[in-house]
A = this chain, B = another copy of it.
Amino acid sequence: MTTHEPTSGGSSTRFDPWYDHYADRTAGLSASEVRALFAVASRPEVVSLAGGMPYVSALPSELVTGALDRVMRDHGPQALQYGSGQGTPELRERALEIMALEGIRGSVDDVVITTGSQQALDLVTKLFINPGDVILAEAPSYVGAIGVFRSYQAEIAHVLMDDDGLIPQALRDAITRLKADGKTIKFLYTIPTFHNPAGVTLSWERRLEILEICRANDILVLEDNPYGLLYFDSPPPNALRSIEEDGVIYLGTFSKTLAPGFRVGWALAPHAIREKLILANESATLCPSAFSQFAISEYLASADWKGQIDTFRGVYRGRRDAMLSALSEHLPEMSWTVPNGGFYVWLTLPSPLDSKEMLPRAVKELVAYTPGTAFYSDGGGRQKIRLSFCYPNEETIRTGIRRLTSVINEELELLDTFSSTGQMEVVRPNAHVTSPPPNIN
């Protein structure tokens, strides 16, 4: 057998003797475009604006080392052992303190610790989705959520956003249309704050309106909030869960404010749902890692974690600024969103450029990005690009945007040539450097 052969996803050309044994849902499993990019982007000469890796080097390692030493000294046998399927009471208390920063009040009894918030996404989907059930999600939406939803054979209905996030009327229209089609809508999946990939934030007024719509239509809300504490200027509006308790499952994570390597996230769920979440958690992994939970509890108890989040904010703010100013300088005719927090800028290419088709040429020019199609379940997003400013430093970001500019310009020149022969028309969007376009979809 070959070593180091990249996995080719669901479409292996090798003979698979178990081909007819798989479950129906397995047909929905395919390698994401983000994933395929990891191999490419990890080559050192490529500037990757593709991944969503937090810059963990901004975390002083002695803060972690100290916490680890205390875990082994004070809690060794417990940290090395199996634990509760709900997670440790200590860490659940800490999760409540963190959520309080976003206006959330809850009971430690309703927090369930999971193996990253990705696993909470998986478990909630497992609990609610029969094949063919509909999940409402922003257009675009988090690639990892789309993957989970597909793996349980959900139908994903994208709802338009603009600069203020999900558009309430678009949500109403989608619900009406889906109900008329006899569909069963199970929940709305939303990243209201510093959206991945769109970078926008749902306004306070819309938060109230979206919740009202969901309440009226008996639709559960799954609020995914990995980036809320990573704001650059003023804090974002409070979480949806701060407004509505019974209709919202809130997902949080330590991956962006501490480190993803521990794989610890959590769900805060209405009481009856969290009972089922614990059972699903136990079924999937018996319990979240006791060691990781103790390590994070110790870190939170001893380190100035709020100060550390300020440090992260400063790092990411500088990188966002570097990206925005490089975009203004090099691509003034393009349009993009201006995030007030989080990791991502969402760029719109001039029609008819295709971000997915352009990617191999970009990688040849030593810059990688995530094509917009990764964030749609319906083939949308070809004119979009997600640019991450979280991991590379400011200088590298500027280099990356310069390279991206060359690629785009070469594509446009090529198209201009075709266009002048009457074969294709290039439509350059209006420039929106300081004010992003009203509809980023």
Contact = CB atoms under 8 A, between A and B. Distances in A.
Interface of A: 1-5, 7-10, 12, 14-19, 21-26, 29-32, 35, 38, 51, 53-54, 56-57, 59, 61, 64-65, 68-69, 72, 76-86, 107-110, 115-116, 118-119, 122, 126-130, 133, 144, 147-148, 151-152, 186-187, 220, 246-247, 255, 259-263, 270-273, 275-276, 278-280, 282-292, 295
16 contacts: A3-B109, A7-B275, A8-B275, A16-B270, A17-B272, A23-B133, A61-B76, A68-B72, A79-B261, A82-B260, A115-B263, A148-B283, A260-B286, A263-B286, A284-B284, A289-B289
A59 B261 CA distance: 24
Contacts of A280: 26, 29, 151
A290 B127 CA distance: 27
A23 B108 CA distance: 26
A291 B272 contact: no
Given A4-B109, A65-B69, 11 more contacts: A7-B86, A8-B275, A15-B272, A31-B279, A35-B282, A53-B81, A56-B80, A64-B72, A260-B286, A284-B284, A289-B292
Nearest to A149: B283
A315 B283 CA distance: 29
B144 A3 contact: no
B246 A128 contact: no
Contacts of A18: 220, 270, 272-273
Given A2-B109, A260-B80, A262-B291, A22 B276 contact: yes
Contacts of A186: 21
A147 B126 CA distance: 14
A390 to B, nearest CB: 11
A10 B291 contact: no
Given A144-B286, A279-B9, A272 B82 contact: no
A84 B4 CA distance: 13
A392 to B, nearest CB: 14
A255 B285 CA distance: 12
- In the A-B complex, the 8 residue pairs with the smallest Cβ-Cβ separation, listed nearest first, are A16-B272, A80-B259, A80-B261, A261-B290, A261-B291, A263-B289, A56-B80, A29-B279
B126 A25 contact: yes
Contacts of A77: 56-57
A179 to B, nearest CB: 15
A272 B19 contact: yes
Contact of A17 (B15, B86, B246, B285): B246
Contact of A283 (B15, B122, B282): B122
A77 B64 CA distance: 11
A243 B413 CA distance: 61
A265 to B, nearest CB: 10
B276 A23 contact: no
Contacts of A26: 126-128, 276, 280
A127 to B, nearest CB: 5
A31 to B, nearest CB: 6
Contacts of A81: 53-54, 56, 259-261
A210 B57 CA distance: 52
B53 A76 contact: no
A85 B272 contact: no
Nearest to A57: B77
Given A22-B127, A272-B16, A275-B12, A1 B115 contact: no
Contact of A286 (B9, B116, B152): B116
B130 A24 contact: yes
A351 to B, nearest CB: 33
Contacts of A289: 115, 261-263, 289, 292
Contacts of A295: 291
B109 A285 contact: no
Contacts of A263: 115, 285-289, 291-292
A147 B25 CA distance: 20
Contacts of A110: 1
A108 B3 CA distance: 7
Nearest to A56: B80
